[in-house]
Structure 1
């Protein structure tokens, strides 16, 4: 038995500013036809900025999906699908928190919601921050907050951090430090 799915049809349902929604028809390895929806996303980068005191610089911003303000690491969508993830990370670092850094290292990447979306988020760590100027997009309203790594881990476990990319990034960063 072949273990591959075969796509036999893809129909674009909606083309938005950032995402495209498709309806796919596939044939399973057993020969059964199934229908799935897929959200295509250009990708994104997020950055864990470490300030001179060793604190992580976070942003609190309104998110329409939760209809609430959410605490997150700075992040943003690629300007174009083939944008260099490092370029995106550095841009978001400056836009959202008003810092630059030449000490930005790749940590890891992951699918944000693999069951329905092809978005890959690239996570970076930025150190040796240099004060610049915050340059928010017209639809961004953020406040900047600083926390120790331990405080953020506590916030994950008591439910005060709810953003998946931030939780994943903070815990991966913590483990990377423990393994170093």
Structure 2
């Protein structure tokens, strides 16, 4: 395969979550072309399953699509030194008021590789319990209206395949969890897997 050498890299915009860059890339045949994309800090998502086979899904407003979407509890990798499974546990507690005793790695996802390097690591969380009331995170902005719903995993699969769930991480997480369950969880990897 061609090397696609990057001849130059120019940052156009930066904020706390992402930057927009332009790379001059050598194409097959030698032509150099500009390609713009987003460099993202990365994220984690959690498929939290309870003992009854229900998945914890949240409803969250997303300004970019101007809709309230079905999503997994998820968030940015933005705490220095925090492990990925630690970030997932933090997001589960903050967005769903839940903790989990068992964590496994479910999938790694590039949701929009045509325009972003964002990578989302999806975890399966089981042995679920509520966060004590006095320890719950105070949610603000879009998160203030988060609604937690417990949906049977098979119903969530139907929602994903019918287009009711459109968030890429949620679709992949729900389908991945259902497939892993069908294989008696043999496809899961350790939560600390670095690959």
Scaled to the shorter chain, the TM-score interval is: over 0.9
CA offsets 1:148-179 (integer angstroms, 9 cap, x no match): 11111111222211111100111111111122
Structure 2 residue runs of 5 or longer lacking an equivalent are: 185-195
Residue 15 of structure 1 and its aligned partner are, at CA, apart by 0.3
Runs of 4+ in structure 1 over 4 Å off = none
Structure 1 residue runs of 5 or longer lacking an equivalent are: none
Of 128-137 and 89-98, deviating more is 128-137
Q: Which residue of 1 aligns with 2:73?
A: 74
Q: Which residue of 2 aligns with 1:9?
A: 8
Q: Is the Cα contact below 8 Å between 2:12 and 2:22 reproduced in 1?
A: yes
1:168-179 alignment runs, 5 A limit: 168-179=172-183
Query: How far apart, CA to CA, are the structure 2 residues paired with 1:109 and 1:94?
Result: 21
TM-score (norm 2): 0.86
Q: Which residue of 1 aligns with 2:113?
A: 114
Query: How far apart, CA to CA, are the structure 2 residues paired with 1:101 and 1:158?
Result: 29
SS of the residue corresponding to residue 62 of structure 1 reads strand
1:1-180 alignment runs, 5 A limit: 3-80=2-79, 83-132=82-131, 133=133, 134-139=136-141, 140=143, 141-180=145-184
Total equivalences in the alignment: 179
The CA RMSD over aligned residues, in Å, is 1.6
Aligned CA distance change for structure 1 residues 154 and 63 (closer, same or farther; 3 Å): same
Of 129-138 and 152-161, deviating more is 129-138
CA offsets 1:71-119 (integer angstroms, 9 cap, x no match): 1110001114764210110000100010111211111212121111111
Q: Is the Cα contact below 8 Å between 1:59 and 1:97 reproduced in 2?
A: yes
SS of the residue corresponding to residue 50 of structure 2 reads coil
SS of the residue corresponding to residue 95 of structure 2 reads helix
Residue 17 of structure 1 and its aligned partner are, at CA, apart by 2.2
